[in-house]
Each structure stands twice: as C-alpha cells, then as structure tokens.
Structure 1
Amino acid sequence: MSEDILQFIWRFRLFRQIPLFTRAGLPIRILHPGDWNQDAGPDFQRALLFIEDIYICGNVEVHVSAKDWVIHGHHENPAYNSVVLHVIWEGEEPCYLADGSLLPSLNLRELIEPDIVCKANTLLQNINPIPCAYDIKNVPMHIKVQVLQRTVVERLEARYEQVKILLHETQGDWERVTLILIASAFGMKVNKEQFTALSRVLNLKLLKKFAHKPQLIHALFFGQAGLLQKVSGKESYVQELKKEYAYIEKLHGLDSLSPYQWKFMRMRPANFPTFKLAQLASLYTHQSSWFSWITTTESLEEIRYFVDNLEIPEFWSNHYHFEKESVGHSTAISKDFFHLLVINSFSLILFSYGKYMGDGNLVNRALAWLEQVPVEINKLVRPYKSLGLPLESALDSQAVLQLWSAYCEKKRCLHCGIGASIINRI
C-alpha cells in the first residue's frame, strides 16, 4: 500500500462504508471526502462528516501508518489543527493535534477489497510508456473524451502562465508578446531561441512606420537579425537591403544580433533561417498589428487567406539564403506550417488574452480555432491514436501532449480519469 493509492481510495470512497466506526468505536458517516489538495497542507480539504451524530466540516489527512502523523511533524504544526479525521491503512498509535486534542482515526485496511489495491498496483507498476495501454480499450468513450477536454485546457492554461511571464518582461506589451510567439514558431526547434531573441530587439515603432513598404520591412528584419553584416551578394535585392538598413540603423541607433548564432546545418533548405525570416518579414509587411487582428477577427479563414496571398520578394523564389542561387521553388507558407502557427501562436494569443481579460468568448474562439486544424501526427500522438483515443483535431492532439507530459510520463495514473476508470471498474 502506498499513500497515493490510499488517497485515491479515500477520494473515490472505494471501501465499505456501512457500518463505519472510528478506531475509538464512534459511528461515522462520510457525506463528502473533501477536495483533494495537491499542494502543501492536509490531503483533503472541506470534508463533510457525521461523527457520533455531530456534523463536522474540516480537513482530512491520509497516511499509510498511524505513526506517520508524528514522523511528518503534524502534531507540532498548528496548520494541521483544522484536521478532523486521520485516515490510515494500519497502526494503533494515538494522534494529537498541536493544540493537544485527540484526533479521530479511521482504519481502512479491513474495509478495502484486495482487488482494488491489486488493480492500482498493476496500473502503476506497468512498464509500458502509456501505463493504461493494456486496458484502455475497455474505458468508456465518454471518459476518454472528458480526459481530453480537461487536459487540453490544462495545457493552454500552463502556456498562458508562460505568456504572463512574457507580459511581465515586456511591461504588458501584448503586441511585443504576439511578435515573440509568432517569431518563435518560425524558428521551430533549431532556431527558436534566435528568432525569439530577434523578436525582443525588433523596433515595433519602425514596423508600423514602414507598413506596406516591403523593402524597408525586410531590411529591418534581416538587419536586426545580423544577417546582412557578412553578406557579399551582388543582386540588387541584397544590395538594397544593406543600403536601407545601414541608413535606418544609424538614424535610429538599432541593436542587431550576431550573424554567427544562426544555424543552417542539417536542415532542409526550406527551413533555413534566412528563408523563414523572409516569410516572417512578409507577414508583417501589410499587417503590423497582429495582436489586434487576432483578437478582433472572428474568422480563422480570413487570416488563412491573408497568409496564402503573402507577397514575398521574387529573390526568394530561387534562393534559400543570400549567397547561393537555388532551383526555383515556392515561397508560400505551407498549409502544415500555417497549422503550426495557429497552434503555437494564434490560438495561444487568443486564449491568453481571453483569460487575462476574463472574456469567455475569446477563450471559446481559441478552442474553436484549434478544432479547425487537423490533428497533429507525431511520435507522441501516434501511440494514443492507435489505442483508440478519439483524436480528430489539433485540440485533441494538444490534449494528448498534456496527457503524456503531465500524467503518463510521470506515472500519475491515479490523477487521471482513465486510470481511475480502470481501477474503479467492477
């Protein structure tokens, strides 16, 4: 028996409850076991009990052994004076509160069916990366759907906490935060840090001033990225960029990144930072306030149409970087990459601003946008799909990523509705 399993059993009342007596022989009825507290303090809060016909509201502490009360120092901690019941697996030691009161105890060992403990241990000790894989097919579909609905919100709320950190760092500048999120998506894994660093130094006032002036916008992006410093290309596009940036850099005292931090090795040319930066700069050429647009438009299709019709300089149709010409290719942002932008920036901005402003409509719109994007298929999502989870959109695949990182990988099966269903099933 582990404390986690005993807490789980108490939470779902998986033990015989009639008749029920404390260790001192007092009759007890459990109206509500309390809310499971996963932070510091008693394990369950606001429990409702009847002990010897006295209505009691308070906290409950759960231990495998009665002596754990003293071992954990609860007998000297006034914060535990609110505990009204000590739930244990075994032991006879009396437990006292810090104020000297004797604490009622309830021993569950003889009240629990061995099959419950066996099921819990089978689940927790399973070596499969997805511990419930052996029995998930027998879990009712509505429970799987509920778990996905909960975990996708958990993931978005966790990412909202990261957005709040960015807001603090930028003194509440939502437009800057939006640029950071969009730019980091363009950087993908290899150049994410570099694109993020660029988004922090880019001059937003100049972005707005240069709106609808592609040459100046591109000069600003490539110049502040440091990618024009060592360029020796003779093409007029390249020479114009260098000329324009040299002027605005001197005029406005702009900061630039080092050209040596950008990574090109072991990448597909279409993912070279120069090519992705050309697409990002074009994104801001005719739309300098992405935050305002994202939070005011109702239609994701409107944004999709704009992205599909971006005007990217002709130079990039036969180049992936400044120095070498390549075979002709499309410069358009692909459908798959647009979906990544929706997942990693557009919907996240919308959700975060909705949470920040307390606007449920914005939150619901963010979820709806994720539902309009196809499910992501990768090495983490694929196994869950093969196990029969109903994965139909990016909303579901984002839920699965949270399910893996917060539950399956950490063996937190007792905190998951799917795990609970496996253990509870008769």
Structure 2
Amino acid sequence: MLITEDFLHYVWKFRLFDRTALKTVEGDEIEVYSAGMHNKHAGPDFQNARLRIGDTTWAGNVELHISSADWQRHNHITDKAYENVILHVVYRDDAPVTLPNGRRLPTLELHNRISPDLFGRYHNLIFGERQFIPCEANITLVEELTMSNWLSRILVERLEKRSEAVLTTLATNRGDWEETFYQFLAANFGFKTNALPFELLARSLPQITLAKHKNNALQIEALIFGQAGFLDGDVVDDYPQKLKDEYQYLKHKHNLTPVDNHLWKFMRMRPQNFPTIRLAQFAGLVMQSNHLLSKVLEIREVEILRGLFDNISINPYWENHYRFDAESKPSPKNLGKASTNVLLLNTVALFLFTYGKQHRQQYHINRALKLLESLPAETNNIIADFVNLGLKIKTAFESQALLELKNNYCDHKKCLDCAVGNKILKLS
C-alpha cells in the first residue's frame, strides 16, 4: 500500500506510533516531549519540537520524509533553513544524512512502529473507491458532538473566505459599506443565472443617483429598467413607454451607459424568475428601503429582517405581465420565501459576519450565525447526497458548512486535516 508524507505528518503530530523503547537508527534513546508545531509553509515540517536524544534535551525542528534519501533529493543539505533540524523522521532509513558541519543527523525510522490497522484505515480513506466523499462508508459513525463542532469551525472558515470578496469591493468603494451592500444584494437578486448583469447594473447605477429620485417611483423604475437595457427597443404598452421617455431624460442628465441587454438570460427559467420580474422587485426594494445595511445592522428579530424583503411592492403592471408588451394570466409577483432565504443567506448573513469581523463586534458575528441557524437548509445535489448518506441537515448553518466540507476538504482528500477524517482513522 502507498504511504504519503501527509500520513507521516499525521502520525508524528498525534504520536500515533509505537513509542516503546524508542531509539534512533544509531541506537540512541528518544523521548518526545513535544512534536512541535506543524509548519505548512516553506521550511522544516515541524517547528519548536522538544525531545531527548540520549542524555541531551533538544529544542528545534523536525523534518519528515518517506525515505532518508529524500533529504538529498530535496536539496535540504544546501538549505540553511534546515540547519537546526534536530531529528529526521522517516518511514524507511535507506541512506545516512550528514549536516554541513559534519554531524550525523539523528534519524527515527517508523517502518515497524505504525499500526497496520491505522495504515489500512488511512489507505481505504484516501485511496479506496468512493462515489461521493472519501468517508462515505463511515461518516455516520462519527459522534454528533464531533460533527457539530467541526461544522461550526468550517462554517466560519467559509464565511471568512467569502468575506474577502466583500472587503475587496469595499476598498474599491472607498470604505462605503452601504454601496458595497447594495452591489452584493443586486448580484444576489440575479441569483446564479443573472448575477453578473445585476452586478453590472448596480455598479453602473450608484445609490447616490437613485437617492436623488427616491420619491418618484416611475423614475426609479425607469433608471433600473433603462440601465438594464430593457428600454432600448420599441415598446407598445403605456407603462413601458412612460419608462422609456423618463429614462431618455435621466440617461442624459446623469450621463448613464446601460448594461448590454444580451447578458440577461430567460432560457430554461420559470417565468416567476424572469429578470424583468426580479428587476421590478429590486426597484420596489430600492424605493421602500434607504440605507438598507443600516437597517440590517439595527434589526434584531429574524422575522422583522425577513419583512424587509417579504413585503416588497411592485408596479401593478407586472400582475399580468412577465415581459413588456406580453400580457399573461394574472399572478402574484411577490418575492417568494425561498428567494428571500437566498438573499438572507448570501447577502445579509455574509455582511453581518464581515461587518462584525472588520469592526471587532462579536455581536454581529453571532447574529450572522444565528440567522443561518434560523434559515432552512439549501436544496442542491451536494446536500442531497449528504442526506442520502444518513446525515440530518435542517438548517442553512449545516448546509453551508457541508458545502465547505465537500468543496475544500473532501474533494481534495484533506482527510488528515478534517476532524471527521481524524475521528474515523481513530475508530477501533
């Protein structure tokens, strides 16, 4: 069976090897006080280890290899970063290592000190056949407390990584949180299919421009539909004609350039999700909610927060239209509960977390996590596959964490860095 350096790192880090009568290949007794801090960057694998070799206690770095000869192959002999290595830990010792000062580097061989059961479990986890994730046959054996604690940790990892995009845009907007929130909210109004044109729309139509017309619904709608490129062609109905006339004036006044209309996608979409309907809803939100992020930061109750999106009023024209000049059977066009959940998850929770982190306010971080706990789990293929394995997934807190687990741990077989994988390896 194959062995990897990652596995050796794992064995050394948690001292999962037989330490009975531990000796170097030269015959000196070894006692490990501290395995050191695992270094995942350039340089020795473990730093600041403490151990006794013979009668001398050492403090320094430990380097691990599959075979002793890897020291030479990896050119460590000429690298000054390895001069203070105090122990060379290898799976097989096949060549002595001498440091530049002429000292023989003490070497510990683990070939006969790793349990075959541990090695077998590792091999099955990393190299075994799988349909979905490496631990799919054992994940339900992991106790609930371990799973819960690990999901909490990697959910924070996910939010921290997603926060980077917010902070990048915030810097572009010169620290304007409201404008940044508005742009992210717009992108999420487009959901996955029309996220890009919605984002481009928001960037081309700053809030400060909309604020100048906040008391005129027709002008707000004209700006949004016009900037989206839906008023460039000929229209017949009275409502879109009014929008077009208004937009021509506003376009010249604010020196606006609309988004390319061809970016918007209608294909294979339910009419309720057509970009025209989403734009009408977005216009309604803009009209009823100024300084939306400030409201989000102030509101404590989830249901009141949800009310910011549930009660959006849109122009009556859309009651019996999905497109301009194409009358349809009357139907409500309110933002559905599922759509509101997506906005709360992808925009509101993210900004509460990012704002709390940036301003060192744990209160907002906790609010973000509680908001995710209050939202239902997402429905997608990945979450469905976890459910099929036997996991009970009820909240967005859990589903978001599992997406992070799948995409950044399972898919890369980082089982040794995963609490679930660690627990499975230690199952007796």
Q: Please classify the TM superposition score into its range, dividing by the shorter chain length.
A: over 0.9
AA matched with 2:221: H
Residue of structure 2 equivalent to 1:261: 263
Higher relative contact order (CA 8 A, sep 6+): 1
Question: CA–CA distance in 2 between the matches of 1:97 and 1:366?
Answer: 53
Question: CA–CA distance in 1 between the matches of 2:263 and 2:419?
Answer: 45
Residue of structure 2 equivalent to 1:41: 43
Residue of structure 1 equivalent to 2:169: 166
Contact kept in structure 1, 2:89 and 2:109, CA below 8 Å: yes
Matches within 5 A, 1:82-97: 82-97=84-99
AA matched with 2:205: L
Question: CA–CA distance in 1 between the matches of 2:105 and 2:202?
Answer: 58
Query: Quick one: structure 1 residues 213 and 42, their matched pair in 2 at CA, closer, same or farther if it must change by over 3 Å?
Result: farther
Question: CA–CA distance in 2 between the matches of 1:131 and 1:336?
Answer: 32
SS at match of 1:58: strand
Q: State yes or no: 1:126 paired with 2:98.
A: no
SS at match of 2:365: helix
Contact kept in structure 1, 2:182 and 2:207, CA below 8 Å: no
Per-residue deviation, 1:97: 4.6
Contact kept in structure 2, 1:231 and 1:322, CA below 8 Å: no
Residue of structure 2 equivalent to 1:229: 232
**RMSD of the TM alignment (CA)?**
1.8
Contact kept in structure 2, 1:231 and 1:323, CA below 8 Å: no
Q: State yes or no: 1:273 paired with 2:297.
A: no
SS at match of 1:89: strand
SS at match of 1:39: coil
CA distances 1:365-420 after superposition (whole Å, capped 9, x unpaired): 10011011011122100121232334221000000100110111122222211111
Residue of structure 2 equivalent to 1:300: 302
Residue of structure 2 equivalent to 1:146: 149
Per-residue deviation, 1:82: 4.0
Per-residue deviation, 1:351: 0.7
Residue of structure 2 equivalent to 1:416: 418
SS at match of 1:180: helix
Equivalent of 2:194 in 175, 191, 194: 191
Contact kept in structure 1, 2:179 and 2:206, CA below 8 Å: no
Query: Quick one: structure 1 residues 211 and 99, their matched pair in 2 at CA, closer, same or farther if it must change by over 3 Å?
Result: farther
AA matched with 1:351: F
SS at match of 1:333: coil
Equivalent of 1:180 in 153, 163, 183: 183
AA matched with 1:5: F
Q: Which runs of 5+ in 1 are unaligned?
A: none
AA matched with 1:137: T
Question: CA–CA distance in 1 between the matches of 2:17 and 2:121?
Answer: 14
AA matched with 2:407: S
SS at match of 1:284: helix
Equivalent of 1:397 in 399, 406, 428: 399
Residue of structure 2 equivalent to 1:202: 205
Contact kept in structure 2, 1:65 and 1:89, CA below 8 Å: yes
AA matched with 2:61: N
Per-residue deviation, 1:122: 0.7
Residue of structure 1 equivalent to 2:349: 347
SS at match of 2:187: helix
AA matched with 1:259: N
Contact kept in structure 1, 2:237 and 2:324, CA below 8 Å: no
Query: Quick one: structure 1 residues 316 and 386, their matched pair in 2 at CA, closer, same or farther if it must change by over 3 Å?
Result: same
SS at match of 2:276: helix
Query: Quick one: structure 1 residues 49 and 262, their matched pair in 2 at CA, closer, same or farther if it must change by over 3 Å?
Result: same
SS at match of 2:135: helix
Per-residue deviation, 1:295: 2.4
AA matched with 1:204: Q
Contact kept in structure 2, 1:46 and 1:58, CA below 8 Å: yes
SS at match of 2:120: helix
Question: CA–CA distance in 2 between the matches of 1:114 and 1:254?
Answer: 70
- Figure out how many residues of one structure are paired with residues of the other and give that number: 425
Moved more, 329-338 or 240-249: 240-249
AA matched with 2:21: P
AA matched with 1:8: Y
Residue of structure 1 equivalent to 2:368: 366
CA distances 1:272-326 after superposition (whole Å, capped 9, x unpaired): 1111111111111121222222223222222212322211110111111213111
Contact kept in structure 2, 1:77 and 1:98, CA below 8 Å: no
Per-residue deviation, 1:223: 1.4
Question: CA–CA distance in 1 between the matches of 2:353 and 2:117?
Answer: 43
Query: Quick one: structure 1 residues 99 and 329, their matched pair in 2 at CA, closer, same or farther if it must change by over 3 Å?
Result: farther
AA matched with 2:209: L
Query: Quick one: structure 1 residues 161 and 306, their matched pair in 2 at CA, closer, same or farther if it must change by over 3 Å?
Result: closer
Q: State yes or no: 1:220 paired with 2:223.
A: yes
Contact kept in structure 1, 2:44 and 2:82, CA below 8 Å: yes
Query: Quick one: structure 1 residues 242 and 98, their matched pair in 2 at CA, closer, same or farther if it must change by over 3 Å?
Result: farther
Matches within 5 A, 1:8-87: 8-87=10-89
Identity percentage over the alignment? 39
Residue of structure 2 equivalent to 1:114: 116
AA matched with 1:6: L
Contact kept in structure 2, 1:137 and 1:388, CA below 8 Å: yes
Question: CA–CA distance in 1 between the matches of 2:290 and 2:61?
Answer: 54
Question: CA–CA distance in 1 between the matches of 2:98 and 2:320?
Answer: 79
AA matched with 1:136: I
Contact kept in structure 2, 1:74 and 1:98, CA below 8 Å: no
Query: Quick one: structure 1 residues 56 and 267, their matched pair in 2 at CA, closer, same or farther if it must change by over 3 Å?
Result: same
Residue of structure 1 equivalent to 2:245: 243
Contact kept in structure 2, 1:43 and 1:59, CA below 8 Å: yes
Q: Which runs of 5+ in 2 are unaligned?
A: none
The TM-score with structure 2 as length reference comes to 0.94
Per-residue deviation, 1:348: 0.5
